[in-house]
Amino acid sequence: MWEKKPILLLVLATAAIMVGTTVTMIVPFMSVNTDADKIASVKPYTPIQQEGRDLYIREGCNNCHTQTVRPLVSEVLRYGEYSKSGEFVYDRPFLWGSKRTGPDLARVGGKYPDAWHYKHMDSPRAMIPGSNMPDYGWYKKNPLDPKMIQRKMEVLGFPYTTEQISALADKNEMDAIVAYLQKLGSDIPWRKAAKTTIVGELKNPFVGNKSAIEAGEELFENNCEACHGENLEGGIGPELTDIDMDDSDLYQIIYNGIDDGGMPAFGSLGTNKVWQLVNFLKSGDSD
């Protein structure tokens, strides 16, 4: 019996551990960040984006937010295209995280306009009712220190010029964190690829349906009011009191969103709910 031969048992156990370590750790480490993993469109952080990343780490944001979308249907539908290893070549340390007290941020860049992020960081509940995220309005009172940033960049060996860093003299921490958030996941054109091409004629199934209009009003309050106003009067987004647009065109805008931070896509709500929003917006009833 092997247990009666300790030397042989030790050798076999060591061999088994080495094989497992090689397969699960050494081989994967050797296969990442190779030329095959590089993505040409992924660019280094600018000085203000890097400073925003430092703030993100300083505040422990990665304790509540992950930065990686797993290749699962449910996650891709909710957050966007799954993460690629080549997107993280400039990240030291990685901020993938493991807990989602808040939503994943791997694809937040370009999802909302800058104004949305400024208002959200100032008071999260102003944009997402019920959010338990702290307020960071005090970021606006903290100007960036180009001299300190210069020292950090020199220590880390980042190739930023003195002129690039001096340009941050009139920026504050709020500007930096927003610039960083708008960078996340935006180096690959995944939103255009994810757009749904609708084949055939789009026909509104709820025309004149009072229940659908009421359901659309509730959906508007929960998803759209923060940007378009309680009475459709506008704000971060345009006013919606008098929409001169075909139902099918409005449906596609809501379903696919508007590129470059104009408006996020709401296709994940489902076809019926998008149509309910269309009917509420076209009803002219903002009460």
Of 74-83, 133-142, 155-164, 180-189, minimum mean pLDDT range: 155-164
Q: Which residue has the higher pLDDT, 33 or 104?
A: 104
Of 25-34, 201-210, 211-220, 262-271, minimum mean pLDDT range: 25-34
Q: Which residue has the higher pLDDT, 232 or 36?
A: 232
pLDDT of amino acid 285 = 47
Is pLDDT of 177 > 90?
yes
pTM of the predicted model, to two decimals? 0.81
Nearest-CA neighbor of 218 among 140, 161, 273, 142?
273
Q: What is the CATH number of domain 47-188?
A: 1.10.760.10
pLDDT of amino acid 287 = 47
- Split at pLDDT 50, 70, 90, the class of 14 is very high
Which tokens hold the place of 54?
Answer: 């430092």
> What residue ranges do the domains of the chain occupy?
2-31, 47-188, 195-283
Nearest-CA neighbor of 45 among 139, 158, 191, 166?
158
What is the average per-residue pLDDT within 82-91? Answer: 90
pLDDT tens, position by position, 217-249: 999 999 999 999 999 999 999 999 988 889 999
What is the average per-residue pLDDT within 89-104? Answer: 90
Which tokens hold the place of 44?
Answer: 């280094």
Rounded to whole angstroms, the Cα distance separating 98 from 68 reads 9
What percentage of the chain exceeds 90 in pLDDT?
57
What is the average per-residue pLDDT within 19-45? Answer: 77
Fold match flag (47-188 vs 195-283): yes
Q: What is the CATH number of domain 195-283?
A: 1.10.760.10
Rounded to whole angstroms, the Cα distance separating 138 from 53 reads 17
Is the Cβ–Cβ distance between 185 and 107 less than 8 Å? yes
pLDDT of amino acid 130 = 87
Rounded to whole angstroms, the Cα distance separating 61 from 150 reads 24
- Split at pLDDT 50, 70, 90, the class of 135 is very high
